[in-house]
Amino acid sequence: MVYLFWLSVSLIIYSYFIYPVLLIIFSVLKQTICDIQHLIVKQQPPLNHTGLLPNVSIIVAAYNESACIEERVRNLLALDYPVEKLTIHIGSDGSSDNTAEMLNRFNEKNYHVHIFEVNRGKMSVLNDLIEQSQDDILIMSDANTHFNRDVVYKLVRHFNDEKVGAVCGELHLVDAQSGDNKDSVYWRYEQILKFHESRLGALLGANGGIYAMRKALFKPLAANTIIDDFQIVMNISKDKYKTMYDPEAIAIEEVAPDLCSEEARRVRIGLGNYQAFFNMGWALNPLLGWRFLAYLSHKVCRWFVPHLMIGAFISNCLLLNQVTYQISFVGQVTFYLIAYYGIKRQKSDKKVNPLVGLIAFFVSMNIALFKGFIRYFNSNIQGTWERTTR
């Protein structure tokens, strides 16, 4: 029990605290070495000697998005990129509201609507839309996302380097009512990790609302795939292409209006995480270097934090005959009571102390993740939509 307790605690601390510190240290070291090489050897980054902009297709799959789809189309049509080089493909996946009708109201030359009568799921729609697109560079997004006008320029500039296979943009979360930026501490923490993993050539997946890739590198995924953005970009890195993160390519998305909607989203993401884990054994190859370490530390360890939390608590209960473990038990109980208090207040739409809010977020996130784990083994995974507000 002693080994189980300390192993569980150590892995949680490593994933959330030690790994980020190591990541930043090595990222800074690598950047410093690159800067010195640039000064001494006068190495230059690859340039686009042709000066030509690539043709780009934007791909969006939608299901029952009548509340936002019209605004989304207007946003895409207003992007700052040559119209003759930009094609928009939006597919309605058997929507039961008037999403299809709204999509058909637009009649621009570079805008194409694909109405699918039967609801088959997001991945099936993406597979079809990507197959029908004619351009070398694809930008993937969601129906409830809003692009900054210069997003296409920001994303495609990286493809001047033939070794770059995918580029992830930055997603800002805003409150639906006030429009205020609601990026939580955890979300900003994740963005920092993405930035430094990108520097080390170990970026994991992408933000589904904003990322770009070379069409030639896309591999169709199974219809029941849940977290398509993660698996698509990881498959590109598997082929030894660079995956990059650009914090200047900005998209905006509204946060879920209530905890129930957010919890449903997290549970489904948790289900998708375990689906990806069991489908991607190749990513656990130590020969992948930093990508292996990032995947193991940033993803795999995190996905099993709920199990580690349970292991730490149960083993702690069985070691209460020692003072050290009595103290740690009191600490754990206090931690979970604070989380319970924070979750209850948030569900009542009451403000909480930032530290209490962070603890509540951490615990609720891992509860949802564990529910996703249970669903993975107790249900037939379907690709059909389980739409949440965000």
Whole-angstrom Cα distance, residue 370 to residue 304? 8
Q: What pLDDT, on a 0 to 100 scale, did the predictor assign at position 38?
A: 74
Counting residues of the chain whose pLDDT is more than 90, the rounded percentage is 78
Phi, psi of 213, rounded to the nearest 5 degrees: -155, 165
Question: How many percent of the chain have pLDDT more than 70?
Answer: 91
Whether 210 and 249 have beta carbons less than 8 Å apart is answered as: yes
For the beta carbon of residue 108, count every other beta carbon within 10 angstroms: 11
pLDDT digits (tens, 9 = 90+) for 355-379: 998 999 999 999 999 999 999 988 7
- Amino acid in the structure at residue 182: K
**Residue 42, pLDDT score:** 60
Beta-sheet strands, E only, within 126-182: 137-142, 145-147, 164-174
How many angstroms separate the CA atoms of 91 and 307, rounded?
38
Beta bridge partners of 140: 59, 211
What is the three-class DSSP state of 206?
A: coil
Which residues fall within 8 angstroms of residue 302, CB to CB, at 6 or more apart?
A: 15, 16
Work out the pLDDT band at 180, boundaries 50, 70, 90. low
Instruction: Decide the pairing of beta strands 137-142 and 56-62.
Output: parallel
Residues 6+ apart with CB under 8 A from 142: 60, 61, 208, 209, 253
Q: Calculate mean pLDDT across residues 335-346.
A: 93
pLDDT at 385 over 70: no
Tell me, what's the pLDDT at 352?
85
Token couple for 173: 């979360």
Residue 234 has pLDDT above 90, yes or no: yes
Q: Count CA atoms closer than 13 A to 245's CA, side-chain side.
A: 22
287-293 — which CB contacts under 8 Å span 24+ positions? Answer: 289/202, 290/26, 290/197, 290/200, 290/201, 290/202, 291/201, 291/202, 291/204, 291/237, 293/202
CB-CB contact of 216 with 144 (8 Å):
no
Tell which wins on pLDDT, 162 or 381: 162
Query: Over the stretch 89-126, which tens digit does the pLDDT of each residue have?
Result: 999 999 999 999 999 999 999 999 999 999 999 999 99
* CATH architecture of structural domain 56-286: Alpha-Beta Complex (3.90)
Q: What is the mean pLDDT of residues 21-25?
A: 96
